[in-house]
Amino acid sequence: MKRKLFAVLCGGIALALILAGGRVLPTRAADQAKDDRKADPSQEDSGRDDLPLRDFMRQKLEASNMVLEGLCTDDFDMVKEGATRMNSISNSERWRVMNDAVYRQFSGDFQATTQQLVEAAEKENMDRATLKWVDATMSCIECHNFVRGIMVAEQPDSR
């Protein structure tokens, strides 16, 4: 069991690294995000909802890494904190970037999974928390693949 858990976590770490590498969405988008940061003075003000969309979205990555760290160090408070952040980001107005039925479905799944992750952390159930974190990580990738498809279909330069 321990070994299985470890394997799952390692897979998760690899996924997280891929996400951190900005390969989730086209690199062009990551470069653009850097430019936005330089150009936009409101960047210094870290009030969460004032952030440009990509920075707002990037908070999911930090929250997810927090959960991973909590899982690796047996720190359920940390798991809960990260999961709560992921959940509240997905409940925010800004999350609803498109009014598409499929996007809403992905959003709903992500909200439900992160909520279950919060509950698993509260119950200090390591196996369930690990499973839910992996589920949440899968939905990061699935939703991004979907979003990327839509964005390529629309004019990419209008963003």
CA count, 13 A, side-chain hemisphere, 19 = 25
Return the exposure string of 1-10: e unless at least 16 CB atoms fall within 10 Å of the residue's CB, then b: eeeeeeebbe
Candidate segments 3-11, 35-43, 60-68, 123-131, binder of ligand HEC by CB under 6 A: 60-68
In the complex, the smallest distance separating the C-beta of residue 137 from ligand HEC, rounded to whole angstroms, is 6
Q: What's the rounded Cα separation, in Å, for the pair 102 and 26?
A: 21
Q: What's the rounded Cα separation, in Å, for the pair 113 and 134?
A: 10
Q: What's the rounded Cα separation, in Å, for the pair 65 and 123?
A: 20
Is 131 an interacting residue with respect to ligand HEC (CB under 6 A)? Answer: no
Is 72 an interacting residue with respect to ligand HEC (CB under 6 A)? Answer: no
The correct pick among 12, 25, 51, 85 for binding ligand HEC (CB under 6 A) is: 25
In the complex, the smallest distance separating the C-beta of residue 69 from ligand HEC, rounded to whole angstroms, is 14
Query: Which residues of this chain interact with ligand HEC, rule CB under 6 A?
Result: 19, 22, 24-25, 29-30, 33, 53-54, 57-58, 60-61, 64, 86, 97, 103, 106-107, 110, 136, 139-140, 143-144, 147
